[in-house]
Structure 1
């Protein structure tokens, strides 16, 4: 077995070693990922920084992830190049982050979303083989490393669409001496049935099950929502789409997938056994890999050219931010555009962060949090707002979203916000009073903010046409959230790392749509 000796100390990289042009290329609950250039190395790197409020993910967590990544270094695992300590451009706060090799083609889930169809079969079989190779290496270490969060969002792609496994924040080395509890691990759709037991301890079979669900996800590219099934009672996602497709080796791949998600973890194959299968399957398609990669790269490049290089832009003006969001397809309707132009985002952040207010990134200071602008545009478009509706925002924060919504609802609407922290409600009310002093109340639905836990009791005691949750909803509270919505209404909420839109079409019938893959902090339980 491979050895996982303690790595040498990581190089510390400061802001003087890096170009001053930083571009946001990703974001999540931990903070942001930036693209910049290392001046001495003369190549581009990715920097994963903690957010301005890193309450749930500490410096120690980030450095622990770096340790994991260094120990797991292989051709199919993202390479960490050093630790960043310093200030970002236009920011005087000291940040800590990871300096990593840049993956030009993003994550597998992003590729799936952009293609909206299955990649060419040669690439499909190479992807599943390379993921298996990477995971087999992790499990071959002494002691084995269990990833515990294997999913398409954590499979990055280099310039040639080769796999690099990332995000080791939940990874653990597991020995026979010390069992590791599953507390907080994984994303529910990719978690095996045994992991839902409070007495469960991590095992390599966890990752094998996750691999099966990744295979299912890949074969169902274009499906915008995860199916409902009872995993603990043996339920699994449907195979009708996969079984209708035809390709050499596909039947064997489906059989492998079914064996990997076996209800009994002891009956699941090891990754060594998986790679023996996937190597043979990829061999049937290997001759077509260059054409397949070229086709996908060409399609990605065409999409990026439409988005002015595909990178999220920075600016110093509210209207320029909105122009960028329109150009990138975030703002798609006139009412949403008008609302965004009517509310200056900089007015809803603390003074020290005003310089970053119009950039496509989240801003945090203590309990005060503004999501990235592209999150708000997606939410506003998904809510399908119009005059006279009722709206509830759980985790209403600064009041920015409620103010945007109020400009569309008009004076006959209902506009409520529930926020856990009293200091944030006070902040939101102060910002609202300033806005109201300058706006036409005959065209505005003034928000009403209250302090409370939205998962406990909504104090207004009515049902709403539109509901939004500003933090990740625990899956156990999904029904609770749905019960807040009127018949025919819309619920938008982060659920299991997806921004979901649920529309009630009958007393017990709902449609669901996956809007974005996201990582939000959790709503605080009562």
Structure 2
């Protein structure tokens, strides 16, 4: 599917929530790949050299298996499909790396200094070779001691004994989130796992960056930092205002992704309000000096207060960029919401957040999880997005001017070329205008 070509897009109705099946052209029925590695095949397929043989055997003998064994085999098929997708993703990365290196060599030859490098390389001593440009720091303030000094000076340094941890309310890949009580106030406590610091040499810098980034924010729609326990690895805790609902839960209910809706879809005006508040929060971050790019914008990282106002949260992947600077740190974020240039490991700037917002805005308008109309896994989605062939299904506007304007904003926000994507000030203005037009909009 191509976002720029409405004729080729699967479309869903805004109000009927109709979902079209996946066209045959977008993929073929899943099958176990026969190109799995030998070791994997031998361990998972019980000595069979070809996974397709196993698949045929399973089909012919499935009626003889117990339900538990059938479930195990289904899980095996899913795992093999994931491995196939990952191999394709790695192959794509390798091909893009080779293309980029070839391009660099062509430029070097064109500029006339390739021969100079080749002719003089023998004269260069090993101990004199130094990188011409040092790698950029994680942020402007990634040193923990500096953050500790700031916290003590400004009154937001929290001793561990001041926090009374209550029940766990969330679980991430690097942290657990608890409800806590601090000075009589309900707070959320993000406890970074000690293993994260022990296994990641830059763990403390990332932690310091997240705390320092949050400490700078003074915006209604950005999560408010109450303080932090700055004693990793055992007490790397970030204490924020307490909220129980995410945008994802507000839209889809709790639990995993489902094709069928289990909760009522909030009214369109309310969904547009949430979109405008997210845009305002990102406008604030992008107009910060230096620019703050979030890099992991998704509904589960956006919280709602008791009045359902937005709080953009989780700055663990955030990055500072000076004017004109580009980031190049490999894929960062979540595949479903990740910009194609980030997936391709190309230089990127704050426009990667605009792409993520476009996916979220479409999710708010359609009420559907991105790519729920397909059976693709995250790796397959990444491959198709990186090639520019896939975007989420948009709502069918049915000659509705307001919905048509929203679709145009969505599609330009997730445009393949970052330069074509609007800035958040532009997004905010357009959403305000659309919201004002809702006064006369009949649902």
* Interval containing the TM-score (normalised by the shorter chain): 0.5 to 0.7
CA distance in 1, matches of 2:365, 2:439: 18
Higher helix share: 2
CA distance in 2, matches of 1:260, 1:155: 19
TM-score by length of 1: 0.48
Choose the corresponding residue for 1:48, options 168, 174, 190.
190
Within 5 Å, give how 1:218-367 maps onto structure 2: 218-223=364-369, 226=372, 227=374, 228=376, 230-239=384-393, 242-243=395-396, 249-285=402-438
Higher strand share: 1
State the match for 2:150 in structure 1.
9
**Conservation of the 8 A alpha-carbon contact between 1:146 and 1:202:** no
CA distance in 2, matches of 1:193, 1:68: 25
State the match for 1:151 in structure 2.
298
State the match for 1:182 in structure 2.
329
CA distance in 2, matches of 1:77, 1:246: 36
Determine whether 1:24 maps to 2:168. Answer: yes
Query: 1:285 deviation in Å?
Result: 4.1
Question: Counterpart of 1:53 in 2: which secondary structure?
Answer: helix
Choose the corresponding residue for 2:362, options 210, 216, 241.
216
**Conservation of the 8 A alpha-carbon contact between 1:77 and 1:165:** yes
Question: Counterpart of 1:22 in 2: which secondary structure?
Answer: strand
Within 5 Å, give how 1:451-466 maps onto structure 2: none
Worse-matched range after superposition: 250-259 or 47-56: 47-56
Choose the corresponding residue for 2:216, options 52, 71, 78.
71
State the match for 1:81 in structure 2.
226
CA distance in 1, matches of 2:426, 2:411: 14
Change (3 A) 1:253 1:225: closer
State the match for 1:165 in structure 2.
312
Question: Counterpart of 2:178 in 1: which secondary structure?
Answer: strand
**Conservation of the 8 A alpha-carbon contact between 1:116 and 1:221:** no
Query: 1:75 deviation in Å?
Result: 1.1
Change (3 A) 1:65 1:232: same
What are the superposed Cα offsets for residues 7-59 of structure 1, whole Å, 9 maximum, x if unpaired?
8712221243233x5111111111211111212xx321110001242234834
Change (3 A) 1:102 1:284: farther
Unaligned stretches of 5+ residues in structure 2: 1-139, 254-261
**Conservation of the 8 A alpha-carbon contact between 1:121 and 1:285:** no
Question: Counterpart of 1:25 in 2: which secondary structure?
Answer: strand
State the match for 1:201 in structure 2.
347
CA distance in 2, matches of 1:44, 1:179: 39
State the match for 1:107 in structure 2.
246
- How large is the RMSD of aligned CA atoms in angstroms? 3.1
Query: 1:246 deviation in Å?
Result: 9.2
CA distance in 1, matches of 2:401, 2:368: 21
Query: 1:194 deviation in Å?
Result: 1.9
Choose the corresponding residue for 1:95, options 230, 235, 243.
235
**Conservation of the 8 A alpha-carbon contact between 1:122 and 1:286:** no
State the match for 1:127 in structure 2.
274
Query: 1:84 deviation in Å?
Result: 2.1
Q: Which has the higher contact order (CA 8 A, sep 6+)?
A: 2
Question: Counterpart of 2:416 in 1: which secondary structure?
Answer: coil
Query: 1:257 deviation in Å?
Result: 0.2
Change (3 A) 1:121 1:82: same
State the match for 2:177 in structure 1.
33
Determine whether 1:60 maps to 2:205. Answer: yes
Unaligned stretches of 5+ residues in structure 1: 88-92, 293-526
Change (3 A) 1:262 1:18: same
CA distance in 1, matches of 2:399, 2:188: 38
TM-score by length of 2: 0.56
Question: Counterpart of 1:12 in 2: which secondary structure?
Answer: coil
**Conservation of the 8 A alpha-carbon contact between 1:156 and 1:164:** yes
Query: 1:175 deviation in Å?
Result: 1.7
**Conservation of the 8 A alpha-carbon contact between 1:182 and 1:202:** no
What are the superposed Cα offsets for residues 489-514 of structure 1, whole Å, 9 maximum, x if unpaired?
xxxxxxxxxxxxxxxxxxxxxxxxxx
Question: Counterpart of 2:341 in 1: which secondary structure?
Answer: helix
**Conservation of the 8 A alpha-carbon contact between 1:84 and 1:95:** yes
What are the superposed Cα offsets for residues 73-102 of structure 1, whole Å, 9 maximum, x if unpaired?
311111111112589xxxxx9422101111
Task: Please identify the structure whose Cα radius of gyration is greater.
Answer: 2
Aligned pairs, number? 275
**Conservation of the 8 A alpha-carbon contact between 1:261 and 1:268:** yes
Change (3 A) 1:14 1:245: farther
